[in-house]
Amino acid sequence: MSKHWRAAVIVSACIAGLGLFPASAQEPREFSFGVIGDLAYSPAEEPLLANVLEELNRTPLAFVVHVGDLGSPRNGACTDELWARRLAQFRASTNPLIYTPGDNEWTDCHAQQGVPGGDPLERLAKLRSVFFNGEQSFGQRTIALVRQSSSGGKFEKYRENVRWDLGGITFLTLHVVGSNNGLGRAPDGDAEFAERNGADIAWLHEGFKHAQASNSRAIMIFQQANMYPEFLPFPGDPKRDGPGFTDLRTALGKEAVAFGKPVVLVHGDSHYFRVDKPYTRLRRGPEDPTIENLTRVESFGTPNHHWLQVTVEVSDPNVFTFRPRIIAANVLKVR
């Protein structure tokens, strides 16, 4: 990537983010962004996360997305103290940074996960009040975000679901978390799941509708949960987990087929870097089509503290190129 090309990306992203000119006239058609998540699960790993953030801050990017899990519930991920540290790190980012929640921030904040007296729904309400204010990303540079909550009504609380456009691509986040998406542990959690699942599916449909209307070249969706238990490694029990993702998986498959252009789902959760085509292997019968235009990407996760660089190129019919960025200081020593 040339020095001049990087500068053009930064200038274009800044202008579009500030809204000084119509985004369509100023946005770059080629740019790169970063993806991280599921890092620093213990105090000993905090320096490894710092190395990741330092490299991201040295790399001019259009934006960075954190796909959830700010740490481990047993080591502070449910606490205001760790949230304050992560919030400061997000605000200090030299690149615009967007965050979508993980299960370790709230769903898993209960006694069975090593958090005695924890209240997941209290943590969820607090998480929203801490991390999802304003109409912009985090970072020293920011980009404008469209929040699902702006539609009001029954979606007013879902400020964490956002959408933005850059370079003819539609990007959006969904609040979909591990531990079976919060389904099956407690009645109040099941009620929360049902409401949030409906909001997520509505936001997914709205995102594809927007992409079609905008003639977007592609759509990329970010969420925390791995919702494909058929393909190991999977963070939960494949025989038990999965119902919390069934409706969303079905909706995503149908929307991808109708869209017909590249669709990418980016998630964390399993701590296993991969790029694959899950809907070419999920066929159970004629009613389950092969969906070749949908790609699944999983970011790195602890103990592997690295990041993913995604490049958008106007001349590439697949639109996206995925490059794992290995941080030398964080490479685990082979014993």
Q: Quote the Cα angle for 270-274-276, to 5°.
A: 115
Structure tokens that stand for 264 in this block: 């990418």
Report pTM.
Answer: 0.91
Cis amide leading into 324 (omega within 30): no
For the chain, give the mean pLDDT: 90
Confidence at residue 294, expressed as pLDDT on a 0 to 100 scale: 96
Confidence at residue 286, expressed as pLDDT on a 0 to 100 scale: 59
Structure tokens that stand for 310 in this block: 């995604």
pLDDT tens-digit map of 90-127 = 999 999 999 999 999 999 999 998 999 999 999 999 99
Look up residue 331 and give its DSSP letter: P
Reduced DSSP (H G I as helix, E B as strand, rest coil) percent helix, strand, coil of the chain, to 5: 40, 15, 45
Please tell me the distance from the alpha carbon of residue 35 to that of residue 46, in angstroms, as a whole number: 18
Please tell me the distance from the alpha carbon of residue 117 to that of residue 111, in angstroms, as a whole number: 6
Per domain, the residue ranges of the chain are 3-330
Confidence at residue 282, expressed as pLDDT on a 0 to 100 scale: 65
Q: Where are the alpha helices (DSSP H) in 186-308?
A: 187-213, 246-259
pLDDT tens-digit map of 219-253 = 999 999 999 988 889 998 887 777 999 999 999 99
Please tell me the distance from the alpha carbon of residue 35 to that of residue 48, in angstroms, as a whole number: 16
Judge whether residue 10 has pLDDT over 70: no
Q: Can you tell me which residue has the tokens 């929040």? A: 147
Fold assignment, 3-330: Purple Acid Phosphatase; chain A, domain 2 (3.60.21)
Long-range CB contacts for residues 10-15, cutoff 8 Å, separation at least 24: 10/60, 10/141, 13/62, 13/63, 13/96, 13/141, 13/143, 13/166, 14/141
pLDDT tens-digit map of 47-72 = 999 999 999 999 999 999 999 999 99
